[in-house]
Amino acid sequence: MKDNKIFELIEAEKQRQREGLELIPSENYVSREVLEAMGSVFTNKYSEGYPGFEDLDGSDDDVLASEPANHRYYGGQQNTDKIERLAIARARRLFHADHANVQPHSGAQANNAVYNAWLEPGDTVLGMNLGHGGHLTHGSPVTLSAKIYNFIAYGTNPETGDIDYDELERLAKEHKPKIILIGYSAFAKIPDFERVVKIGKEIPDCLLMADMAHVAGLIAGGAHPNPLDYGFHVMTTTTHKTLRGPRGGLILSRGKVSNPLKKPEHTLENIPTLIDRSVFPGTQGGPLMHIIAAKAVAFYEAEQVSFQNYARDLMDNAKTLADELISHGFKLIGGGTENHLMLVDMMASFGVDGKIMEEMMDKVGLTLNANAIPNDTLPPFKPSGIRLGTAAITTRGMKRQEMKKIANWMRRLAEICVEIEKNGKSEDAFKKELATMREEVREIAEIFPVPGI
Ligand SMILES: Cc1ncc(COP(=O)(O)O)c(C=O)c1O
């Protein structure tokens, strides 16, 4: 690369990723093949529109052998059509969906496209409170969608850490939302999809939407229930978290798929095509074909038995790490994890906030993020909690033994935070110990190489 500055920063980032342990639950390491597809010549191609929607059942070979109709606005699509159709067919198989739109540039774009497909301005959406683990795109007032639609928030029960389904049902009956949205960024339970479907079925024209951004890889690998199997109409996700693909979004749906060039009637049955039209031209321009190629590769990888093993190990590691942390005095919201996400109340555990713990962990190469806990009394930038997960370290091949090591390091780091923050000791007193711990983390990291680099 002639641009030395960028080259050096890429090399420095490779080193950072190699030498540290990634505990941020929304991050992962993609394979060499996914990286190569992302860096391919498909970035040169404009492909506004869609490849044909017919003949997407069956194997990859069946899909490649078919001759779909042309719904693109540019010529030269002989290869892009095949790439996108393979991505769609693989995603449909993985998630038992009637339709997949693989074009959303990100998880946020995917959610906004679903809102735009089904709602009129002012319509009501029932979504999870951001402060209780929901996502910004589920109704935070700082977002564009919150200016357009009327978001009502349900929360979690402080005793159980689970969704307060009674409250959700009461709010649904009262507000008659056009969408009930189940999904979260910091919530450790498996939702009761069956109960939500029962609640939603009572409300006319209510779209049931699940934002499974964090757990799509677990669903694909058979380690988490699939909301589409329970009667949800739509599932959105990112492709870069547990699903281990390129950064991007994906929308899966159940219903009738038809020609996206023709506006269908506004019915729940037609939701697949309403979504296609909402992604393009409704909310996006040209698809990122190099990213769609990489999504197709990631879906291929997720269809392999090895990915089921990955999902199983990911959960095994998460449960081990959660148990170890609890035994060291960390208080986990909900008492553990059912879906690999862990939310720790640092204030209740050690009397220090999450930001201090995040910064202390960074010093030794352990990366996670400070996070609000339900009903947090501290501000968002210095919240009470930390959030972590095992998606990335499991990709590196780490197992129970390494989880125990991580929990030990975290206990000692929490103690150091207490010594400095509460007992007024100087950070210098721990310089040597922190340097030794940094070396220990680096040694373990080197035993488990990062795939792809
Ligand atoms: C539940 C949920 N939905 C949507 C998103 C948004 O995804 P992106 O960052 O790709 O826009 C996230 C990202 O963290 C998320 O956790």
User: Hey, what are 114's tokens?
Assistant: 């679903």
> Which parts of 278-304 fold into alpha helices (H)?
289-302
Residue 247 is a catalytic residue: yes
Å from CA of 361 to ligand 1 middle: 24
Distance (Å, whole) CA 143 – CA 123: 16
Both tokens of residue 147? 């200016």
One-letter amino acid at 121 equals P
- pLDDT over 70 percentage in the chain: 100
Question: Which tens digit of pLDDT belongs to each residue from 387-439?
Answer: 999 999 999 999 999 999 999 999 999 999 999 998 999 999 999 999 999 99
The pLDDT score that the predictor gives to residue 138 is 96
Residue 394 is a catalytic residue: no
**How distant is the alpha carbon of residue 124 from its chain centre?**
24
Residue 139 Cα to ligand 1 midpoint, Å, equals 13
Note whether 203 and 195 are within 8 A (CB): no
CA-based radius of gyration for the chain? 23
User: Which of 136, 137, 140 is the pocket-test mutation for ligand 1 (most atoms within 8 Å of CB)?
Assistant: 137
Q: How far is the CA of 132 from the centre of ligand 1 (A)?
A: 15
- Structure tokens that stand for 269 in this block: 């049955």
In this structure, is the dihedral angle defined by the CA atoms of residues 208, 375, 151 and 185, taken in order, positive or negative? negative
247, 404, 405, 438: the catalytic one is: 247
Q: How many helices (H) and strands (E) does the chain have?
A: 17, 14
CA distances for 148 relative to 100, 143, 256, 298, 385, angstroms? 26, 9, 27, 34, 31
Given a cut of 90, whether residue 70 has pLDDT beyond it is no
C-alpha of residue 186 to centroid of ligand 1, in Å: 11
Q: Give the Å distance between the CA of 440 and the centre of ligand 1.
A: 33
108 CA closest ligand 1 atom index: 11
d(CA 367, CA 369): 7
Secondary structure element (H or E) that encloses residue 99, with its range: strand 99-101
To the query of whether residue 427 is one of the catalytic residues in this protein, the response is: no
Atom of ligand 1 nearest to the CA of 111: 4
What is the pLDDT at residue 390?
98
- What residues form DSSP beta bridges with 71? 50
Q: Report the nearest-CA residue for atom 9 of ligand 1.
A: 107
CA-nearest residue, atom 5 of ligand 1: 107
CB 255 within 8 A of CB 97: no
- Kindly give the distance from the C-alpha atom of residue 291 to the centroid of ligand 1, in angstroms, as a whole number: 17
Res. 48: pLDDT tops 90: yes
Confidence (pTM): 0.97
Alpha helix ranges (H) inside 176-244: 193-201, 216-220
Q: pLDDT by residue (tens digit) across 379-396?
A: 989 999 999 999 999 999
The maximal CA–CA distance of the chain, rounded, in angstroms, is 72
Count of CA atoms in the C-beta half-sphere (13 A) of 115? 28
The pLDDT value recorded for residue 158 is 82
Which of 145, 238, 250 gets mutated to test ligand 1 (max ligand atoms within 8 A of its CB)? 238
Q: How many CB atoms lie within 10 A of CB 107?
A: 28
Give the mean pLDDT of 270-298: 98
Can you give the pLDDT at residue 145? 94
Round to whole Å and give the CA distance between 394 and 29. Answer: 10
Domains defined for the chain, CATH in brackets: 32-302 (3.40.640.10), 313-447 (3.90.1150.10)
Q: Is the pLDDT of residue 156 over 90?
A: yes
Catalytic residue among 241, 277, 295, 411: 241
Q: Residues with beta carbon inside 6 Å of ligand 1?
A: 26, 106-108, 111, 135, 137, 183-185, 211, 213-214, 238, 249
Query: For residue 183, which atom of ligand 1 is closest to its CA?
Result: 1
- DSSP H helices, 176-288, are 193-201, 216-220, 271-277
